[in-house]
């Protein structure tokens, strides 16, 4: 049985979609991911453009502008739903962690 595509997201996928809640070009996405994560998550340009192509073909993002080689993208409703599902999955994992280890969130 084939694995469902994009059932869960890698960190890189998550942050790319998160960045696209506003229209952005590839270079802007790379900079924002680095800034948001304090450099913890690194997305290479090859990985970024490969994922952008997959996201477009799956209807998770759309191209909003093309100016020569520069392209801008924006998340779609389908992509936002996927981002929301991934957030809920991560929160459930964090809740399970707290339950088992008895750790509380930091203020």
Residue in this structure with the two tokens 């477009």, named with its chain if needed: 56
- For domain 11-101, the question of CATH label 1.10.10.10 is answered with yes
CA 67 to CA 77: how far, in whole Å?
24
pTM for the full predicted model: 0.86
Task: Specify the pLDDT at position 7.
Answer: 78
* Domain parsing of the chain, residue ranges: 11-101
Mean pLDDT (10-residue bins), the chain, 107 residues? 66 96 96 95 94 95 91 96 95 93 67
Supply 18's token pair: 């998160």
- Residue 67 confidence (pLDDT): 86
- Which is nearest to 73 in space by CA: 58, 62, 57? 62
């Amino acid at each position: 049985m084939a694995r469902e595509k994009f059932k869960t997201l890698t960190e890189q996928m998550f942050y790319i979609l998160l960045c696209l809640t506003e229209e952005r070009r590839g270079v802007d996405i790379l900079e924002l991911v680095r800034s948001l994560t304090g450099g913890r998550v690194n997305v290479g340009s090859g990985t970024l453009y490969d994922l952008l192509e997959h996201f477009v073909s799956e209807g998770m993002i759309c191209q909003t502008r093309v100016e020569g080689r520069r392209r801008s993208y924006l998340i779609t409703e389908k992509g936002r739903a996927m981002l929301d599902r991934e957030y809920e999955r991560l929160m459930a994992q964090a809740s399970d962690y707290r339950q088992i280890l008895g750790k509380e969130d930091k203020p």
